[in-house]
């Protein structure tokens, strides 16, 4: 979203890039555009919280080499690892990067092989889907609504990626906000303010 203009009963947004833009008009705009949310920036609200000093190498592997549908946290004096498996048999490994290990070192294929060797019998045979270095954030927007602009998901709140709770809370936001917006635009009364579902019981903005 490049820009937005709020009116009495609608919001007009401009979308696009590379000189090609299009305008769209809606009753409400819900920004689900991630931790670097442009919507939140246009609302002018803060994103308060903390950033962890630790970094993690997160690796997704196809065709689970362990074959055990569990999640396991394995802390040791010299390394911390988390391994979990999705319903699609994709195995995720998370390795803490030590302070004396640079991002460049952690991105080296040999480094990854060494980390995986602690977990799987043949680390050179795994099918790596993706790998990424994460720094965990715990942040929450100073406000979730400004007029007809609203925030949900990571745009509203960030948390460490452990066990996919950020993803799960985004789904709860969508489920909670969706029916309330539907009630408002169809003319049914609703009162209160929108609060993303980091906790249950949020209410919907009035028209």
pLDDT digits (tens, 9 = 90+) for 147-193: 999 999 999 998 876 666 778 889 999 999 998 998 888 888 655 55
10-45 pLDDT, tens digit per residue, is 999 998 888 788 999 999 999 999 999 999 999 999
Say which DSSP state 200 is in. S
Number of domains in the chain: 2
Does some domain include residue 67? yes
- Half-sphere exposure in the Cβ direction for 17 (13 Å, CA): 1
Do 7 and 77 lie in one domain? The reply is no
Same domain, 101 and 162: no
pTM for this entry: 0.69
> Tens of pLDDT along 97-128?
888 999 999 989 999 998 888 888 888 888 89
Q: Which residues of 136-157 are buried (b: 16+ CB within 10 A; e: fewer)?
A: bbebebebbbeebbbbbbbbbb
Burial class (CB in 10 A: 0-12, 13-18, 19+), 30: buried
Give the separation between CA 139 and CA 144, rounded to whole angstroms.
Answer: 13
For residue 146, give its domain range.
3-46+142-185
Pair 38, 58 in one domain: no
**DSSP 8-state code for residue 190:** -
Whichever domain contains 8, its CATH number is: 3.50.50.60
Q: Convert the pLDDT of each residue in 123-144 to its tens digit.
A: 888 889 989 888 888 899 999 9
For the chain, the average pLDDT equals 82
Tell me which of 136, 166, 195 is where a domain ends: 136
- What is the per-residue pLDDT across 71-88, written as a single tens digit (0 to 9) for each? 666 666 555 666 666 656
Using CA atoms, how far apart are residues 28 and 12, in angstroms rounded to an integer? 9
Within 10 Å of residue 13's Cβ, how many Cβ atoms?
19
pLDDT at 89: 72
């Amino acid at each position: 979203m490049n820009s937005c203009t709020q009116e009495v009963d609608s919001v007009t947004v401009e979308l696009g890039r590379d000189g090609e833009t299009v305008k769209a008009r809606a009753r409400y705009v819900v920004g689900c555009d991630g931790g670097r949310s442009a919507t939140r920036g246009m609302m002018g609200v803060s994103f308060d919280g903390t950033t962890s000093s630790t970094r993690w190498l997160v690796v997704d592997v196809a065709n689970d080499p362990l074959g055990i549908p569990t999640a396991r946290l394995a802390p040791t004096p010299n390394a911390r690892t988390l391994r979990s498996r999705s319903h699609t048999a994709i195995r995720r490994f998370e390795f803490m990067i030590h302070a004396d290990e640079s991002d460049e070192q952690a991105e080296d294929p040999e480094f990854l092989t060494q980390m995986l060797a602690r977990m799987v019998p043949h680390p050179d045979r795994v099918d790596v889907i993706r790998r990424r270095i994460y720094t965990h954030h715990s942040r929450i927007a100073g406000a979730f609504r400004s007029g007809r602009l609203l925030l949900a998901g990571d745009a509203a709140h960030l948390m460490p990626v452990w066990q996919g709770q950020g993803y799960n809370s985004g789904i709860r936001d969508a489920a909670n906000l969706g029916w309330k917006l539907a009630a408002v635009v169809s003319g049914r009364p609703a009162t209160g303010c929108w609060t993303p579902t980091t906790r249950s019981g949020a209410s919907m903005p009035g028209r």
